[in-house]
Amino acid sequence: MGSPVYFGTATGEMRSFLERLIFPYAVYDANRSTLFKKRVKTGLIYTMNVQEDQMKLMGYDQHLGVVEMVMKRIFGESESLFVTDTYQFDDYSRYEAAVFNVEEKAKRRKEEFPKDCQKAFDMGVRFAQLQG
């Protein structure tokens, strides 16, 4: 599952989806049981405009980690992939966004985005092999 991060959290659509996915399986007991009988590995991919150090400073990783913790409780295993410092706009000249260095953003997109895509692909391969 994937979502861009806006203002420190996943989109409203993603949160609504997760609430509807998780709630039917939650059991309110001391053991934190689950009604979901099968163990399924889940992956959460988050893209965000902030740099990794900013993400950690602002606590995005901790906040989003709560979702991972709940997914583990209900479904078994979960892991998150944080894709940071992503493009915010296709054309920065059309927005008031002087805080961004357009050349650095383009360089990072060219060099790092393929690596991030590979990490997401590798996550899927690992999950498929586990389900095999």
What percentage of the chain exceeds 70 in pLDDT? 98
Average pLDDT rounded to a whole number, residues 84-107:
89
Q: What digits encode the pLDDT tens for the residues 14-63?
A: 999 999 999 999 999 998 889 999 999 999 999 999 999 999 999 999 99
Q: Which pLDDT tens digit goes with each residue over 74-90?
A: 999 899 999 999 988 88
Q: Which residues of 15-27 are buried (b: 16+ CB within 10 A; e: fewer)?
A: eeebeeebeeeee
pLDDT of residue 129: 87
Please state the pTM of the whole predicted model: 0.89
pLDDT per residue as tens digits for the range 108-124 = 999 999 999 999 999 99
Give me the chain's average pLDDT, please: 92
pLDDT confidence of residue 131: 66
CA 111, chain centre distance (Å): 20
Is the pLDDT at 130 greater than 80? The verdict is no
Asked whether residue 132 carries a pLDDT value surpassing 80, the answer given is no
Residue in this structure with the two tokens 């996550």, named with its chain if needed: 123
Query: CA of 83: how far to CAs of 2, 93, 112, in Å?
Result: 11, 24, 9
Residue 75's pLDDT is: 95
